[in-house]
């Protein structure tokens, strides 16, 4: 079918597919980041319930290394902040891809004379 | 009027719903596995804390093989809090933490089951819609 389309349209369809793949990859990354962020938040909440002198361990590779509440709290808070910044940046990227997808979709629909272009990025 | 386009749309919706159902089934398997791990951990923690349990144990090294080992402290347990962090707590706290986690996971399991049920109904209705549209298409003579 694509052989019947003018090269410019074919190019736009390819771009649209690329944007769709990009959007899917970004959505997967966002969901992984959200999971990590939630885990960090929950762990911080659990740490908060423990005594200041509680014996804390960090997993390093396959072994557990002794640490302390303050240190782990600090490291985890830093991690949480990093996740939040990365999440915001990913969300902005997703918005840009979404906008570009919609623009391209409209252009294609116009070019194809109001026909239906591929759905959803 | 039924059309090829309509069939394609239904098929695509069907594929999406089936993929979603598979994802939920996988999640439910993971949750079930974790719940059973928690149950085992609770049994182990409670059993080890009993005074009549000896401190000499067998430590699994894989392939159903064991080495002898002793547990110097049975009243303290190290539990994972997530994010690669673990904490030492007493037996009571360990049991209540694990029980709480199991409760949350069981709730999650219920939510997943309900969603899976919904998707199942969606799939069923999409399948019958597809059959209807396909039989209408067959009945319609080519123009």
What does the domain layout of chain B look like in residue ranges?
24-133
Q: Can you tell me the distance from the alpha carbon of B58 to that of B62, in angstroms, rounded to the nearest whole number?
A: 12
* pLDDT for B117 beyond 70: yes
Looking from the CA of B33 toward its CB, the CA atoms found within 13 Å total 6
Q: What ranges in A1-121 are assigned the alpha helix state H?
A: 7-49, 69-111
For residue A34, give the nearest of A120, A94, A74, A75 by alpha carbon: A94
Residue A108 has what pLDDT?
A: 87
User: Is the separation of the CB atoms in B123 and B14 below 8 Å?
Assistant: yes
> B63 at the A interface (CB within 8 A)?
no
For residue A35, give the nearest of A3, A107, A83 by alpha carbon: A83
Fold annotation for B24-133:
Helix Hairpins (1.10.287)
Q: What angle do CA B102, B108, B113 make, to 5 degrees?
A: 125
As a whole number, the mean pLDDT across chain A is 90
**3 state DSSP class of B1:** coil
Residue A1 has what pLDDT?
A: 47
Residue with tokens 């049994």: B43
* A64 closest CB neighbour out of B78, B82, B89: B78
Q: Which position has the higher pLDDT, A72 or B2?
A: A72
> How many CB pairs lie under 8 A apart between chains A and B?
48
* B81 closest CB neighbour out of A47, A64, A79: A47
Cβ–Cβ gap B83/A79 under 8 Å: yes
Instruction: Choose from B27, B75, B83 for mutation: most chain A CBs within 10 A.
Output: B83
* pLDDT for B89 beyond 60: yes
Residue B5 has what pLDDT?
A: 83
* pLDDT for B2 beyond 80: no
Residue B143 has what pLDDT?
A: 47
For residue range B28-68, list pLDDT tens digits in order.
999 999 999 999 999 999 988 887 777 788 989 999 999 99
Q: Which residues of A touch B83 (CB under 8 A)?
A: 36, 39-40, 42-43, 76, 79
Residue B98 has what pLDDT?
A: 96
Cβ–Cβ gap A39/B82 under 8 Å: yes
Q: Can you tell me the distance from the alpha carbon of B27 to that of B101, in angstroms, rounded to the nearest whole number?
A: 16
pLDDT band at A5 (very low <50, low <70, confident <90, very high): confident
Domains defined for chain A, CATH in brackets: 2-111 (1.10.287.370)
CA B112 to chain centroid: 9
Cβ–Cβ gap A59/B82 under 8 Å: no
For residue range B16-32, list pLDDT tens digits in order.
999 999 999 999 999 99
> B81 at the A interface (CB within 8 A)?
yes
Number of residues in chain B: 143
Structure-token pair, residue B7: 């069939």
Q: Can you tell me the distance from the alpha carbon of A51 to that of A49, in angstroms, rounded to the nearest whole number?
A: 7
For residue range A87-117, list pLDDT tens digits in order.
999 999 999 999 999 999 998 888 887 555 5
Residue B74 has what pLDDT?
A: 85
ipTM reported for the complex, 2 dp: 0.76
Structure-token pair, residue A72: 């782990």
pTM of the model: 0.76
Residue A116 has what pLDDT?
A: 52
């Amino acid at each position: 079918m694509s052989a019947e389309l003018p090269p410019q349209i074919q190019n736009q369809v390819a771009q649209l597919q690329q944007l769709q793949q990009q959007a899917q990859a970004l959505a997967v990354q966002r969901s992984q980041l959200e999971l990590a962020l939630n885990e960090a938040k929950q762990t911080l909440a659990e740490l908060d319930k423990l005594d200041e002198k509680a014996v804390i361990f960090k997993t390093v590779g396959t072994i557990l290394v002794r640490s302390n509440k303050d240190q782990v709290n600090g490291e985890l808070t830093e991690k949480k902040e990093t996740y939040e910044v990365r999440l915001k940046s990913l969300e902005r990227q997703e918005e840009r891809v979404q906008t570009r997808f919609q623009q391209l979709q409209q252009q294609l629909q116009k070019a194809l004379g109001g026909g239906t272009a591929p759905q959803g990025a | 009027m039924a059309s090829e386009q309509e069939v394609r749309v239904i098929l695509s919706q069907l594929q999406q719903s089936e993929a979603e159902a598979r994802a939920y089934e996988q999640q439910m398997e993971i949750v079930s596995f974790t719940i059973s791990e928690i149950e085992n951990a609770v049994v182990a923690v409670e059993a080890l804390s009993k005074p009549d349990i000896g401190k000499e144990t067998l430590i699994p090294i894989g392939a159903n093989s064991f080495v002898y080992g002793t547990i110097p402290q049975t009243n303290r347990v190290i539990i994972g809090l997530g994010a690669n962090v673990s904490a030492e707590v007493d037996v009571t706290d360990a049991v209540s933490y694990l029980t709480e986690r199991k409760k949350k996971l069981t709730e999650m399991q219920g939510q997943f089951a309900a969603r899976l049920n919904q998707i199942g109904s969606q799939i069923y209705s999409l399948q019958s819609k597809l059959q209807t549209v396909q039989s209408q298409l067959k009945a319609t003579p080519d123009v």
